[in-house]
Amino acid sequence: MAIATIEWKKDCVRIIDQTKLPLKLEYLDCHEVKSIWKAIKELKVRGAPAIGIAGAFGVILGIKSIHTNDSRVFREKVDKIIAYLGTSRPTAVNLFWALERMRQLVVLHHELAVSVLKRLLIKEAVKILNEDKTICRMMADFGSSLINDNDTCLTICNAGALATADYGTALGVFYRAKEKERNFKVFACETRPLLQGARLTSWELKKHKIEVTLIADNTAAYLMSEGKIDKVFVGADRISRNGDTANKIGTFNLAIVSHYHRVPFYVVAPSSTFDLNVASGKGIAIEHRHADEVSRLQSQKIAPQGISVYNPAFDVTAHEFIHAFISEKGIIYPPFERNIQHALK
């Protein structure tokens, strides 16, 4: 059962509006670059690979309103669109990776007529979407080899079909293990403050008939102390050269408790999530979001008026706490600095 998170529909981008899940499965058609920017900013489309795909299609929406035959003017306008889309969310490097791919195409083919370039850009965005489908399945093949019968796995946030084109990174591993008829269970952390685990991961896994149990985030250490978790699988938003990994806030807590309980902690991410320009987690920009996300639960106020709030959307898991990375190139074990470079080249 495929979930089409994001699709190109001739003149618009159709996304699942994830803020409506799990109560309603509603689609949103974005016809302009501004509406896709807003959809990314407001997490209507979210998850690192999906944000990258949305960014690429954002460029397509933006060029619809460029009316020039001058390829230099066209290139300048494309650069502006790309810079604008890059302001939507700062942490997931997949967004910048996809935007750069679009920009490079224009640079490489600057001698072509603008109308031809426009067609090439559409092709490139569709290619990015289709590649994601293939890459997620390749990662899932590698990752599912780590799941044994009777395993109980834990995950946080949503690194599933909803965070990619249609299959997922960490959850893709579960989907493939199920296709291989492995018998296993999953615990999903609810993922405060925006509840991607409760709203999205449990919805997806249930839809795929994977046995899933929802927990409050602060239950993970207790579960592990009871010996009830065998492996942890999470996604990533940006991985630095040394393997430090930015992912949804709370991931680092999970990695520390996993380490303490000797539970292997796996990060599942495509090569587009590795940022070899950044030496360590210290160089990763962390998005900070609005106070209301913490002081309200959905629209209900749960804290005193005017309370001060600290709301980073991501944290950085130090590479020492990561057992291995699962990418489309294979499973990458420590030492990460050397092995990441080697696997990705």
**Contacts to ligand MRU by CB under 6 A:** 43, 46-49, 92, 157, 159, 163-164, 169, 196, 235-237, 247-248, 313
237 is catalytic: yes
Question: How far, CA to CA in Å, does 256 sit from each of 106, 247, 252, 322, 329?
Answer: 44, 14, 6, 9, 26
Catalytic residue (choose from 132, 237, 275, 315): 237
Least CB distance from residue 88 to ligand MRU, whole Å?
Answer: 11
Please state whether beta strands 274-275 and 238-240 pair in parallel, antiparallel, or not at all (unpaired).
Answer: parallel
Which CB, 46 or 101, lies closer to ligand MRU? 46
Which CB, 55 or 235, lies closer to ligand MRU? 235
What does the DSSP assignment read for 80-141? HHHHHHTTS-SS-HHHHHHHHHHHHHHHHTTTS-HHHHHHHHHHHHHHHHHHHHHHHHHHHH
Least CB distance from residue 137 to ligand MRU, whole Å?
Answer: 14
Least CB distance from residue 90 to ligand MRU, whole Å?
Answer: 11
Q: How far is CA 325 from the centre of its chain?
A: 15
Which CB, 91 or 295, lies closer to ligand MRU? 91
Least CB distance from residue 69 to ligand MRU, whole Å?
Answer: 38
Which CB, 35 or 91, lies closer to ligand MRU? 91
Which structure tokens are listed for 28? Answer: 């949103």
Which structure tokens are listed for 324? Answer: 């291995």
> Of 235, 298, 315, 261, which Cα lies nearest the Cα of 50?
235
The three-state secondary structure class of 315 is strand
Catalytic residue numbers, as ranges:
237
